[in-house]
Amino acid sequence: MVPYKLPDEIKNKLIALMNEIELDTGSIDMIVDKKGKYIFLEVNPNGQYGLVSDTCNYYLEKEIADYLM
């Protein structure tokens, strides 16, 4: 698992979605089809951070805690 940079267009759409449904955090599941089209599957408002933090040395739970404080 490695950090992934979304295209700005997709990132902006996801930010708009999160604002619309009034979520500050969440884990978003997406897939990319063979033609490169991004397909939204779901957003988990509780998030899932353990695998990302340890594997990528990027501690999202700390970032979220700092944001909430």
- Per domain, the residue ranges of the chain are 8-68
pLDDT of residue 25: 81
* Residue 2 confidence class, pLDDT cut points 50, 70, 90: low
Residue 33 scores a pLDDT above 90? yes
Sign of CA dihedral 47, 48, 53, 58: negative
Mean pLDDT in the chain? 86
Predicted TM-score (pTM) of the model is 0.67
